[in-house]
Amino acid sequence: MSVVANIGRAAAEFPGIFRGWTEYVGETAAVALSVAFRPWRFRFRDAALAFQRAACEGLAIASGIGFLLGVILAFQCAAALQMFGVEVYVSDMLVIALFRELGPVVTAIVLAGRSGSAFAAEIGTMKVNEELDALRTMGLNPIRFLVLPRVAAVTAAMPVLTIFSELAGLLGGQIVLQAMNVPSAIFWQHAVSSGTVFMIVFGLVKSAFFGMLVGLIGCGAGLRTRSTADGVGRSATSAVVGGMVAIALADGIAAAICHVWGV
């Protein structure tokens, strides 16, 4: 009965939650449009600090996971293609998989777990300490001061992290194929020939959109933090889970659009 009650409670609360998130996204878009016409109001120092934390400090873990992903994919693909003596085409499969799908998605999931939860915890702690109320009392918009710099920072950081993650994945695949007696020159020749400008640009644009989703959901979860003992922890968890779900949905929609357009 408790499970049924929880499902009913969630269904009853869904319209209010959806309305709150819609208002939050709309207000953020309005503030971003206002700042676009008056760029001197944008807090570049806060955005630079958030970019440093998201991109520079997260570069090692993103590259490391990309390297391991390339090694795993190369091993799995080479095991199947080696039976036909065409393991050299593993490089083509790596380029398509990393640059089109796995690179942006895996990097975005890493960013959601690292930066999305951090944004939720930071803003959530400020709300618990009533610092957000103090900003509003002074006539300052928390969206412009806290949300917009962080969203812009992670949107710009995601393509950078994605590029390094993808290159690290190719390096991991090259090491695996080199151990299987495939020359490095042949590997990189196939990798360059199989990659297209559209594939690379599409992956980077998709990664920037994923970064924007991570920033919006992380900051939104922080703004919705409840003033309870476990409020900040719940907000951080919601930021990570919500970011992953949004990334999966957005990637599925992008895949469907590409299929319809035949690209």
* Mean of pLDDT over the chain: 88
Question: Residue 67 is encoded by which pair of tokens?
Answer: 């390297």
Flag the least confident range among 132-136, 239-243, 249-253. Answer: 132-136
Q: Average of pLDDT values for 151-169?
A: 94
Reported as a single tens digit per residue, the pLDDT across 45-94 is 999 999 999 988 889 999 999 999 999 999 888 878 877 777 788 888 89
- Check: CB of residue 88 under 8 Å from CB of residue 47: no
Question: Which one, of 159, 141, 160, lies nearest residue 32 by Cα?
Answer: 141
Confidence band (pLDDT; 50, 70, 90) for 10? confident
pLDDT above 70: residue 1: no
Instruction: Write down the pLDDT at residue 259.
Output: 82
User: At 252, is the secondary structure helix, strand, or coil?
Assistant: helix
pLDDT above 80: residue 262: no
Reported as a single tens digit per residue, the pLDDT across 209-248 is 999 999 999 999 999 888 876 888 889 999 999 999 999 9
Residue ranges of alpha helices (H) inside 38-128 are 44-51, 59-81, 90-97, 103-111, 117-128
- Check: CB of residue 43 under 8 Å from CB of residue 149: yes
Q: Which amino acid is at 134?
A: A
Contacts with 213 (C-beta within 8 Å, 6 or more apart), sequence order:
108, 243, 246, 247, 250
